[in-house]
Amino acid sequence: MKIYRNIEEIQGPLLKPCVTIGNFDGVHCGHQQLFAGVVSNAKKRKGTSVAITFDPHPLQVLLPGGIKLISTCEQKIELIELAGIDILLIIPFTREFAGTTADSFVADLLVGRIGLEELIVGYDYAFGKGRSGNIDFLKKQGELFGFPVTVIEPYYERDQLVSSSKIRQLVVEGRMVDARELLGRYYQIRGTVQVGKQRGGREIGFPTANLKLDEEDLIPKIGVYVTQVICDGKCYGGVLNIGYNPTFGEEQLVAETHIFDFNKDIYGRPININLLKFLRSERKFSGVEELSAQINRDVLRAKQVLANFKDELTASCSKPFNQ
């Protein structure tokens, strides 16, 4: 997949481009329907499939603190590439760009620079200053400039409308099984392993890989989860505690993962953690002995969950989407 990180990098019209536009936060099942349509129609035209997105998310600029994202830009790029898109244009979103009119966006960017031949958008898509570029506007522009507009209808999983806002709600509530249904894959957090208090192995008997979390990001429900940990391209089972370590009187939010059958020094290394199932809420214990006993019970429960989904978990390491 070819990636352009600003409009000016595109020097001339692309080859018969079939285009979709959106924020694509989470690249969920509904987004995947969009991408599938773009890829299919581009092939029919012997042209190019193109996705246009924005970084940062427009609401992070227009309404700071008003949105917590499901995926980082890095994750979004990876997932869009896996969907088969040929070209991804990431437009830097600024307050100045927010003033772009819908007419200018279509005439100057989509038609003038990209050479748009077909546009595919979601049923609720709107863009431009004041969100004036709605579906009706796009269809009129299509008639004016000679490109068809295809609208992808709402997508449902088990009678639930798939949307980024619904997925955010499920993650905050710790409903990871339900979130997976709408995402088409497990919800994932990423980070670089930090040096922590190092009491996990020495005092408690369960060494952990620690990730620092930013409370400005989308934080799953505080508590303990069954996880799948991906490190250096290999997958391991584990248990994760997201919280503040109340037993030790700490206040910093961290994600501490005990990785099963793992004994490597990974300080400073990146890991990805898929959250499979919420086990229990975080609570304060009387001391190290009681905490260690509870973690041992958590580990046993987590291993049972992992055993029940062994084939599915093996597949998820090689193909992150439901197929």
The pLDDT assigned to 201 comes to 47
Query: Residue 188 phi/psi, 5° resolution?
Result: -130, 140
How many CB atoms are closer than 10 A to CB 136? Answer: 10
Instruction: Compute the distance between CA of residue 211 and CA of residue 179 in angstroms, rounded to an integer.
Output: 22
Query: Residue 167 phi/psi, 5° resolution?
Result: -65, -40
Strand pairing category for 209-212 and 254-259: antiparallel
pLDDT tens digits for the chain (323 residues)?
Answer: 999 999 999 988 999 999 999 999 999 999 999 999 999 999 999 999 999 999 999 999 998 777 999 999 999 999 999 999 999 999 999 999 999 999 999 999 999 999 999 999 999 998 877 788 899 999 999 999 999 999 999 999 999 999 999 999 999 999 999 999 999 999 999 999 988 665 554 556 688 899 988 767 899 999 999 999 999 889 999 999 999 876 666 678 889 999 999 988 899 999 999 999 999 998 888 788 888 899 999 999 999 999 988 777 777 676 665 54
Q: Tokens representing 168? A: 């955010």
How many residues are recorded in the chain?
323
The pLDDT assigned to 214 comes to 76
The pLDDT assigned to 321 comes to 56
The pLDDT assigned to 251 comes to 72
Strand pairing category for 160-161 and 149-152: unpaired
Quick check: 84 and 321 in contact, CB under 8 A? no
Instruction: Compute the distance between CA of residue 81 and CA of residue 33 in angstroms, rounded to an integer.
Output: 14
CA distances, 230 to each of 163, 233, 269 (Å): 26, 6, 11
In whole angstroms, how large is the CA radius of gyration of the chain?
Answer: 22
Which residue type, as a one-letter code, is found at position 200?
G
Name residues whose C-beta falls within 8 Å of residue 44's C-beta, 6 or more positions apart in sequence.
none
